[in-house]
Structure 1
Amino acid sequence: MGSFPGHVLPGTLFLVIGVWHIWSAMVRYSTNPKSFRVRVWNPVSGFDGRLKYLELYVIAIGGFIDFCIELFYSTHLRIVVHGVLNPRHMNNFEHAGMLLMFVIFGVIVLLSEKTSFLPLPDGALCLIGATAFCAEYFLFFFHSTTHKGLEGYYHLILVLLIGLCILTIIAGTLMPTSFPLDLASGIAVTLQGLWFYQTAFTLYGPMMPEGCQLKGNDVMCRSADSEVRGELLANFQLFSMVFVVLAATAGVYSFAASDTGHSEIRNSHVPLDG
């Protein structure tokens, strides 16, 4: 069982990175569609280049902070008991291992981009990013914490969104000039971040469905009907998020295309005469 902060913190990281990826992909494509390439990370322009690698620092440092919270703070430093890993905190150890993969990803990309020790092409960096999401996928799919009922349904949707992140990144690696795939990757990461937030507010916050409540470490519903209503509410929440993200993406793309749009994009939308 998790907690409200335990979902909000990673949700914030995924949401920030996902929104930044969407914006960057649209700007890069609208500026010059012919030179567009799929990227697993996007540099920050301006500020004399001082913030170029900000995204990678956010991933590496943010992931490391969350890793330390899971491994040290949540376990109260009782990591080993009687010579073995503390069985009461296996959930925290699993989360820490997943977060460590994203830290490693951020460090590897930084080494590849800033030094000559590990020069890797964009395709290889994309696959390393997909590997980090695979670790997250396997964590929530083969969790030591048994997710049942309404809690299990929210985590099932999370697993599906993580799988979408993996598929879009791998597909983008295979088709490195595809703008839709790069955009879809950012949308998938954004939806994952939003769903972490939704899970926090629903299971551990004020949005618990009527007829269900948090008892100890379990979400309990009074009846099967209450659980079904909770699952239908989760479906509605997911559909609403998808609609809002797609609508916002379309609106932002319209702004990016009109502001920095390449002549090729603007001309492709000029209506043909009769």
Structure 2
Amino acid sequence: MGTLIGHVGPGFGFFVIGFWHLYNHLRLLAQKGPAHYTNLAWFPAKLIRHLELYLIMGGCAASVAMELFIGPDRHQPFDPDGTIPSNHLHNFEHSSISLTFFVYAAFALVLDKLSLTRSRSGSAPETRPGPAQYDVLQFVGAMAFGQQLLLFHLHSTDHMGVEGQYHWLLQLVVFVSLATTLLGIGAPRSFIVGFVRSLSILFQGVWFMVMGFALWTPGLIPKGCFMHEEEGHKVVRCDSDESLHRAKALVNIQFSWFLILLAIFAASFYVFMIRVYGGEHDHKTADYSPMSSLTTSDEEEEDVEAQKIGGKSTETQRFVRNNKAIDHMER
């Protein structure tokens, strides 16, 4: 990161994964219905089952290589004495985030390969996940989002400038991804949890790309601000506090507008997917019958009580017909 391509590249990756998850969550909901829906951590592709995991690992490996070996002038991030220089601290932070997502994808790949077993006929493989495999995988994914949130919150880059405002708003989106991933452990059949998580991942990608173009395109830099090279990379600085406040306000407005567009897109895409795939699922409605009222039997009920009062025998007979009691006493 720290450049236009360093933000647009990872942002496009987040966008693709988020859209892929959103598409599959809505497709499963439309085809199977809420009763049979399951909130999966990743989705297999038709031609290449583990394509999503391969893309995550490939993108993360490329990001680590770019941060630590391709980007630095000496093609390695260390000083001659083997220490980490100050201008490369952010490279290690970014590569640590990528490495965590790489571990998540690799772990998901290994678990899925171990769960694939041959059927008794020996033809088609069957998936037999291990005990709590879904929960463990979601937890590893939550750790990846948690580390992303932590490193962006404790970022070595200045949080007081325009770039810091972009990062602060990004933390809100990452927190939603973290929270929904943790909620998915306890609610694996909740559609809204998977729906919101996929939207948050997609929005991470959108915000990364917006950040890349807005901070490293001279024509998009707010009025009163300029690009300045510090510690080996370019940052946006403003010539006065008023210009800085205005630039931060513009960032907040951008975030609000993109959030509105995300809501419109999510609702529209939901309607589209339900219309396209909704016919494949026979929606079953529960039949609710009103509570039946108590009715009396047509048979007569007779209650005879014998009592002895003061040495005298009293016999009482009650005949109940049509819910009316008739008392007849004989002495």
Question: What's the RMSD between the two structures over aligned residues?
Answer: 2.0
Equivalent in 257, 260, 269 of residue 277 of structure 2: 260
C-alpha contact (below 8 Å) 2:222/2:247 kept by paired residues? yes
Taking only the aligned residue pairs, the percentage that are identical comes to 30
Q: Deviations over 1:41-63 (max 9, x none)?
A: 11123xxxx32211111111111
Query: What residue in structure 2 maps to residue 114 of structure 1?
Result: 113
Q: CA deviation at 1:105?
A: 0.6
Name the structure 1 match of 2:44. Answer: 43
TM-score relative to the length of structure 1: 0.90
Matched position secondary structure for 2:112: helix
Q: How many angstroms apart in 1 are the aligned matches of 2:133 and 2:76?
A: 41
**1:80, distance to aligned residue in structure 2 (A):** 3.0
Aligned structure 1 segments of 4 or more residues deviating by more than 3 angstroms:
116-120
Amino acid at match of 1:264: H
| 2:169 is the alignment partner of 1:157 | yes
Q: State how far apart, in whole Å, the 1-side matches of 2:266 and 2:152 are.
A: 28
Matched residue, 2:228: 215
Aligned amino acid, residue 282 of structure 2:
S
Larger helix proportion of the pair: 1
Aligned position for 2:267: 250
Larger radius of gyration: 2
**So what's the TM-score if we normalise by structure 2?**
0.75
Whether the 8 Å contact between 1:126 and 1:173 is mirrored in structure 2 is yes
Work out whether residues 157 and 164 of structure 2, in 8 Å CA contact, stay in contact via their aligned partners in 1.
no
Alignment-derived partner of residue 124 in structure 2: none
In structure 2, the residue corresponding to 1:215 is in which secondary structure?
strand
For residues 178-226 of structure 1, give each alpha carbon's deviation from its aligned partner in whole angstroms, at most 9, with x where no partner exists. 1011000001111111110111111111321111111113321122222
With over 3 angstroms needed to count, the CA separation of the structure-2 counterparts of 1:83 and 1:168, relative to structure 1, is same
**TM-aligned CA distance change 1:234 to 1:79, over 3 Å:** closer
Structure 1 unmatched runs, 5+:
269-274
Matched residue count: 263
Match of 2:20 in 1: 20
State the partner residue of 1:54.
51
Report the AA paired with residue 65 of structure 1. Answer: A
Deviations 1:153-199 (A, max 9, x none): 11100111111110111112211111011000001111111110111
* Distance apart, 1:147 and its partner CA: 2.5
Match for 2:70: what amino acid?
Y
From the two aligned structures, give the one with the greater strand fraction: 2
Instruction: Quote how far apart the aligned CAs of 1:103 are.
Output: 0.6
Deviation at 1:79, TM superposition (A): 3.0
SS at match of 1:263: coil
Q: Distance in 2 between matches of 1:245 and 1:230?
A: 23
Shift of 1:86: 3.5
Q: Which residue of 2 aligns with 1:234?
A: 251
Gaps of 5+ in 2: 117-128, 287-331
In 1, the alpha carbon distance for the partners of 2:264 and 2:83 equals: 50
Q: Offset of 1:116 from its aligned partner?
A: 4.8
1:180/1:92 CA distance change after superposition, 3 Å:
same
